[in-house]
Amino acid sequence: MTAARLRPLAHQEHGMLMGQLALVLAPQARTLPVSVSLLLVVLMAWRWLLWRQRAPLPSRTMLAVVAMLVLATSAALVWQAGGSLGRDLCVALLGAFVILKLLECRALSDATIVTQLSFYLLLTLYLTDQPFWLALYSMAIGAWVLRNWLLLHHPEARGRLAIWPLLGRMALIGLPWALFLFVLFPRLDHPLWRLPQSESTGKTGITDTMRPGSIGELIRSTEVAFRADMSGDPLPPSALYWRALILWHYDGQQWRTLEQQRLVRAAPVLRDDASDVATPAPAGMRDYSVTLEASQQSWLYLLDRGIALSGMPEARMSYDGEFFARAPIDRAVRYRARSTFEHGAASSATLPPRIRALALELPPGNPRSRALAARWAETVADPWQRVQAALRVFAGEAFYYTLSPPPLGSQQVDSFVFDTHRGFCEHYASSFVFLMRAAGVPARVVTGYQGGEYNTIGRHYIVRQSDAHAWAEVWIDGRGWVRVDPTSAVAPSRVEEGVDAALAGDEADAVRALRTPGWLRDLRWSFDGLMYTWQRWILDYDRDRQMALLRQFGMDDRLPQILMMGLASLTLIGLVPLWLRRQRLDPLQAMYARFCRELAKRGYERGAAEGPQAFAQRAAAAMPQAAPALHAFTAEYVRLRYGAPPAAGPGSLAALHRALCEVILSIRQR
């Protein structure tokens, strides 16, 4: 190991490394568990106190004890997570041991390791998500780390070199390469690798069960579930039913999906062209793209009745029109889809007996609701009129739409329909489907999202957890499954204007408070549009979008040739500044520089403040046999350099070159 790498670090350099690592680790608090974040803060605080007090660094024995405590804490977290070593814990372990390395950092070699590991920690920021602000932050901190690395190895550069302009020039030189490789380097269909995520990571959004209050809990969250942009004019809120799951089984307390989803085939694939969405949809259909946030669930959200999608390899579709990804969504994904809006159209399909029995299945209990539905079955022959009778019950009685309904008894449907009259969408959907089944009308519960905020600046919909909703579907012979939203009978404003418009009093204020005030709406929409554009054009630039772009320019079958030609062109362009710099070099100054180099080889270096004539006299005194040639060359150089005219012609330069050759011959004959 060289002496330079063993150089002890100055106090200021220790502080520089500590601040650098703190900035690198700060964004990790977004994803790391609170206990792990506190551990990292404690280790950093310990290092800061030692630096502040100029105290000696801890011994290796103490560091070994601390390392064992860190490993023990990690083992406890792994055990708590059921034996899963997730990516968050892996990142936390890396961060903890980099801090421990900082606690034993004494020489330049140790500082080099800490700086290199800081780059790895910056890369781990992208394992969870890749928002626009994080890209800017990581580039800024990466430049800071590079600056620190330069100062560690060349402390004299602090006062002699403009570091930030140098880094800026380096970035500008690399920018064309980065853009070219981003656009044209072959994209992969799947990631090269993926770290496992621990099971302790919470699942968000709609779940595969529904109980009283389950959707009401989501309403209080403004977290974005997904964003969508579609072709054509914006749709009214009443048309925005984003379907997720069908719930069939009811045990008297909660609804749930089938134990095994009825996946029968791969999801129909929507053919892509060079545009962001598919070719124009037929009448009665709509094309759109969805950017779904991580939910740790496998189901996808499609508008109304989805019929096809693309961008999700190996996606599956059930008999009930549900769409599923091949694995839980643990990162933001984007897919394109097509849906139809023809509800209740004439249909020749018949409901299979097994499905009819499933859609009429009811648990024991709720005698008053059963009696009411039985009267409808006896007195109303038309199933659709029974549907209307149930809706008239909700619309005619004093039912209220509220986030804080009173608790229900053991007979939930009876308690809600005849006693409390207060509930949220899941109360109305659940009770309605129960009444329909008891009246002999096949029915089922559908969960998903309804509505969404239309961003007029970004021209896309923002669907939040607060837009979670539950509705019903009934089977009508000759029409098929028909959507019925019993919530609209009680609070039609919920469907037309959103959940905050349907609530009253303090509840409405609480929900509206979750949204940004009106005077900040445009700013919020602008920022959301920026984030969505980043997701859409940068993060979701996959192989399909790359090939669509190349097809648009007729280059999809020549990608290898274009890639090689582009790299060669960039290499040649990168050499142009060097060639221009060489061309701009003064030939007169170039010959004098060679004169100085020749003398330096013999041990006579020119001083920084030494003039040409003084240098020639010093060299001539040491080399008498070369004195005439030295004085002749210097006199000619001074005349051409400082005399009139200032510009040297070809003949003068030739004479100076001959004088330089005489100098070289004379000093070599010494």
Q: Are 356 and 480 in contact (CB under 8 A)?
A: no
Q: Does the active-site annotation cover 485?
A: yes
Give the end-to-end CA distance of the chain in Å, rounded to a whole number: 41
Say if strands 263-266 and 316-318 run parallel, antiparallel, or are unpaired: antiparallel
Q: Which amino acid is at 170?
A: M
What is the sign of the dihedral through the CA atoms of 172, 174, 179 and 182? negative
Give the integer Cα–Cα distance in Å for 80 and 304: 40
Instruction: Please give the sequence-ordered ranges of beta strands (E in DSSP) within 56-139, or none if there are none.
Output: none
Taking the C-alpha atoms of residue 23 and residue 141, their distance in angstroms, rounded to an integer, is 7
- What SS3 class is residue 121? helix
- In terms of Cα–Cα distance, which of 585, 584, 608, 586 is closest to 596? 608
Please report which helix (H) or strand (E) contains residue 246, including its range: strand 241-247
State the DSSP string of 285-317: EEEEEEEEPP-S--B--EESEEEEEESSTT-EE
d(CA 332, CA 267) in angstroms, rounded, equals 20
- State how far the Cα of 662 lies from the Cα of 626, in Å rounded to an integer: 9
Q: How many helices (H) and strands (E) does the chain have?
A: 25, 19
Options 320, 469, 500, 528, the catalytic residue: 469
Q: Which of 320, 414, 485, 528 is catalytic?
A: 485
* Backbone torsion region of residue 257, taken as left when φ is above 0, otherwise alpha when ψ lies between -120 and 50, otherwise beta: beta
Residue among 304, 425, 427, 540 flagged as catalytic = 425
Active site residue 208: no
Catalytic residue flag (residue 425):
yes
CA atoms in the 13 A half-sphere facing the CB of 143: 15
Sign of CA dihedral 50, 55, 57, 59: negative
Mapping DSSP onto H, E and C, the string for 512-570 reads: HHCCCCHHHHHHHHHHHHHHHHHHHHHHCCCHHHHHHHHHHCCCCCCHHHHHHHHHHHH
Helix (H) or strand (E) holding 369: helix 367-379
Q: Phi/psi of residue 395, each to 5°? A: -80, -30
8-state DSSP, 625: G
Q: Which residues are catalytic?
A: 425, 469, 485
